[in-house]
Amino acid sequence: MQKLAVLTSGGDSPGMNAAVRAAVRRAAYHGVQMYGVYHGYEGLMNGDIQEMSLGSVGDIIQRGGTILYSARSQEFKTEAGQQKAVEQLRTFGIEGLIVIGGDGSFRGAQKLTEKGFPTVGVPGTIDNDIPCTDFTIGFDTALNTIVDAIDKIRDTATSHERTYIIEVMGRDAGDLALWAGLAAGAESIIIPEEPQDMNDILERLHAGQRRGKKHSIIIVAEGCGSASSYAEAITKATGWETRVTVLGHIQRGGSPTAMDRMLASRMGAAAVDLLLEGKKDRMVGIKNNVIVDVDFKEALAQKHQLDLSIYQLARTLSI
Ligand code: F6P
């Protein structure tokens, strides 16, 4: 292969730029030309494709977001859209495509491989909800953003002796809520992977109060519903003053942590290597700190497994 391309798709995540940089520079190391596809699959169908140089990815390793932009495309979900995308890639003489994104983006990549075009996926999402990898690019940065926010909320929660319910992203996965809940010492963590019991939440709050706790922090994963509905239920049951914070898209931005830059650099380079080895229809992952690659079909057939031992640990530490 002499010409490869890279695109970012779906919700952006901190570290995507570091992955693009790694892909461009690893390709250059192998003497291969890398093209950047702008605006995800939408741009791919429209031929929004430009040759990238070593310099074009300079000064981006530390930047959040994605210099290639991202989009969610309805047209690309159609047969005609996918055909258009393959034709554009062939027009540019591109022989392999790296897709940095989440599971929806990977399903798109799979469609291109089915049409005879080699693709490799790099997991980039703050949600950490991709099977067959311990971590996705952006999770660590989002986690640190959340923990920093909770620490700040804790200050005012203590001053006013209030109960705070903080809603975090994650789509259907509870990883961000769970890890942030443990790292920030939340009283309760509400995640989709575990059944919710309001009596248990209330009992934990009362136990804390009996011990003289001045505040309580409850983390709710967005997949479990809105933080305000939990706040209303708690106020109704206890008569206590509650406050709600929905962290929102602040979780998606910011300079990637060193861990995310490392992960992105390793994964971006591995994706290039895979394509040059003639491998396709695979995603890059990390397992026990070793970079691995897995068949798309096998990966997407599985459900992401959250580490429930962390949930149990959090429960034992926040008594
Ligand atoms: O997948 C990343 C994510 O930030 C989810 O956590 C969230 O549910 C969703 O994207 C939000 O999407 P949008 O940016 O389109 O509102």
Q: Is residue 86 part of a domain?
A: yes
Q: Is residue 32 part of a domain?
A: yes
Residue 126 CB-half CA count within 13 A: 29
Catalytic residue list: 127
Same domain, 211 and 164: yes
Prediction pTM value: 0.97
Same domain, 60 and 89: yes
Nearest CA owner, ligand 1 atom 12: 11
Q: Is residue 106 part of a domain?
A: yes
CATH assignment of the domain containing 72: 3.40.50.450
Compute the distance between CA of residue 208 and CA of residue 181 in angstroms, rounded to an integer.
16
Beta-carbon contacts of 92 under 8 Å, excluding residues fewer than 6 positions away, are 3, 5, 35, 47, 49
Does residue 242 register a pLDDT over 90?
Answer: yes
Same domain, 160 and 126: no
Same domain, 74 and 212: no
Does residue 149 register a pLDDT over 90?
Answer: yes
**Burial label, 108 (beta-carbon count in 10 A; 0-12, 13-18, 19+):** buried
Same domain, 146 and 246: yes
The per-residue pLDDT for 318 is 87
pLDDT, average across residues 232-257: 96
Q: Which atom of ligand 1 is nearest to the CA of 176?
A: 6
Per DSSP, the residues of 239-279 read: ---EEEEE-GGGGG-SPPPHHHHHHHHHHHHHHHHHHHTT-
Beta-carbon contacts of 262 under 8 Å, excluding residues fewer than 6 positions away, are none
* Contact status, residue 73 vs residue 40, Cβ threshold 8 Å: yes
The per-residue pLDDT for 304 is 95
Same domain, 165 and 243: yes
Compute the distance between CA of residue 262 and CA of residue 268 in angstroms, rounded to an integer.
10
Q: Is residue 131 part of a domain?
A: yes
Q: How many CB atoms lie within 10 A of CB 232?
A: 14
The per-residue pLDDT for 118 is 98
The per-residue pLDDT for 263 is 99
pLDDT, average across residues 43-60: 97
Q: Is residue 187 part of a domain?
A: yes
Same domain, 109 and 212: no
Same domain, 108 and 48: yes
- The SS3 assignment for 115 reads coil
The per-residue pLDDT for 152 is 98
Nearest CA owner, ligand 1 atom 11: 11
Q: Is residue 98 part of a domain?
A: yes
Number of domains composing the chain:
2
Q: Is residue 29 part of a domain?
A: yes
Give percent of the chain with pLDDT exceeding 70.
100
Does residue 4 register a pLDDT over 90?
Answer: yes
Give percent of the chain with pLDDT exceeding 90.
96
The per-residue pLDDT for 213 is 87
pLDDT, average across residues 166-170: 98
**What mean pLDDT value characterizes the chain?**
96
The pair of structure tokens assigned to 172 is 């259907």
List, for residues 55-106, the tens digit of each pLDDT value. 999 999 999 999 999 998 999 999 999 999 999 999 999 999 999 999 999 9
Q: Is residue 306 part of a domain?
A: no
14 Cβ closer than 6 Å to some ligand 1 atom: no
Same domain, 240 and 152: yes
pLDDT, average across residues 13-24: 98
Task: State in Å: Cα 13 to ligand 1 middle.
Answer: 10
Nearest CA owner, ligand 1 atom 7: 171
pLDDT, average across residues 292-305: 95
**Domain coverage including residue 132:** 3-138+256-301
* Contact status, residue 278 vs residue 271, Cβ threshold 8 Å: no
CATH assignment of the domain containing 205: 3.40.50.460
Same domain, 130 and 260: yes
Same domain, 82 and 103: yes
Q: Which atom of ligand 1 is nearest to the CA of 252?
A: 4
The per-residue pLDDT for 5 is 98
List, for residues 191-222, the tens digit of each pLDDT value. 999 998 999 999 999 999 899 987 899 999 99
Does residue 231 register a pLDDT over 90?
Answer: yes
Query: Among 107, 126, 145, 222, which residue has the most ligand 1 atoms within 8 Å of its CB, making it the best to mutate?
Result: 126
pLDDT, average across residues 248-267: 98
pLDDT band (50, 70, 90) for residue 319? confident
